[in-house]
Structure 1
Amino acid sequence: MSETNKKQFIRRGAHQIAEVANGIIDPVLAKRAGISTALLGSWDEIAGEDFAECTRPEKIAWPRREPGTDTGYQAGTLTIACEGARALFLSHAQGELIGRINAFFGFPAIRQIRILQKPVVQAPRHRPKPPPLKGEAARKLDEMMEGIDNDALRNAVTRLGTAVLQKKRTLRR
């Protein structure tokens, strides 16, 4: 295969959105908070079941280096937001959490944790199931799904169709 033919098969300009977003967000996070999107994205696994819901990494503070001195690498301090009384339990589990964080990074990046007691807002993990369709909407959805034999696809289309055909809720004040 010639070089020109090889170049035709190279994808140009096709990137995953996550790669583009991380490329934009990571430098900003690193400069302002010392944190990467990889740490934020993996926080649930790093923190574990006990602390995933009630904690969030805020920033990493790296020690300042004196100009002209080569003191080598020094680990930083990770600031974690934690809700209410869970902060006490987190303070007792600091050693284990530091070990998990450093294992994630692959080197001793964190030497201590600073805990801030404040609310941690997390996106809801599971939305409640909408009520099943009734009447004309249910018949319409059943007609649309005729011929779908695959159970997984049928369930997905049912969820989507229910969400689309559901009557809009009005907000009351």
Structure 2
Amino acid sequence: MPGPRPIGRHLNAIAGKALGPHGPAFATLLAEWDAIVGPRLASVALPLKLQFPKGRQEDAVLHLGVSGPAALFIQHEEPQILQRLNGFFGFRAVARLKLTQAPPATKRRRDRPAPTPRRLSAGESAALESQTAAVESGDLREALASLGRAILATEKPTGSPKR
């Protein structure tokens, strides 16, 4: 049984319409930021906006929120950062960086150890099964049950599951 899947796989399809014509590029940039620039830079700078010139699909300005003295480092490393970004996109998508003072970048949730889920009680399991029993699609029923188990396993036991 497959577990939860990362939403990053579907980010372009989900965010494309909401973020406009350049939204998928920015969504992909956000999803892959750590891999593109490395953990050292990703810990002090976060993309805020990818701004393309009107009517163009290249030479954008990437607005970065930068914490403290890291701005000096980023200015010094700008040519290498641009090279990594454009290598990632496969064309000259970003022409320059614009830095904005921002609070320190927080560690992303995936950097924290996952909490150990607790075992569900027999009553919780039975209640979850009865709540999903009416769903006709087997795949959907199993996905909902899996989500329910994951949610209940991270909550403190209360005697009965929340509705």
TM-score range, shorter chain: 0.5 to 0.7
Query: Which protein is richer in helix relative to its size?
Result: 2
Aligned residues: 119
Alignment partner of 1:108 is 2:95: no
Aligned partner of residue 80 in structure 1, secondary structure: strand
Question: Are the equivalent residues in 2 in contact too, given 1:54–1:82 (CA < 8 A)?
Answer: yes
Greater RCO between the two (CA within 8 Å, min separation 6)?
2
What is the TM-score when the length of structure 1 is the normalising length? 0.54
Shift of 1:111: 0.7
Aligned with residue 41 of structure 2, among 42, 46, 51: 51
Greater Cα radius of gyration, structure 1 or 2: 1
Q: 1 CA distance for matches of 2:18 and 2:78?
A: 27
Question: Are the equivalent residues in 2 in contact too, given 1:35–1:59 (CA < 8 A)?
Answer: no
Over aligned residues, Cα RMSD in angstroms? 3.7
Q: 2 CA distance for matches of 1:128 and 1:89?
A: 32
Instruction: Name 2:71's counterpart in structure 1.
Output: 87
Letter in 2 for 1:23: A
What is the TM-score when the length of structure 2 is the normalising length? 0.57
Aligned partner of residue 93 in structure 1, secondary structure: helix
Aligned with residue 97 of structure 1, among 73, 76, 81: 81
| Cα displacement string for residues 104-145 of structure 1 (whole angstroms, at most 9, x for unaligned residues) | 000011110001110133424123888xxxxxxxxxxxxxxx
Question: Are the equivalent residues in 2 in contact too, given 1:55–1:83 (CA < 8 A)?
Answer: yes
Provide the identity percentage: 26
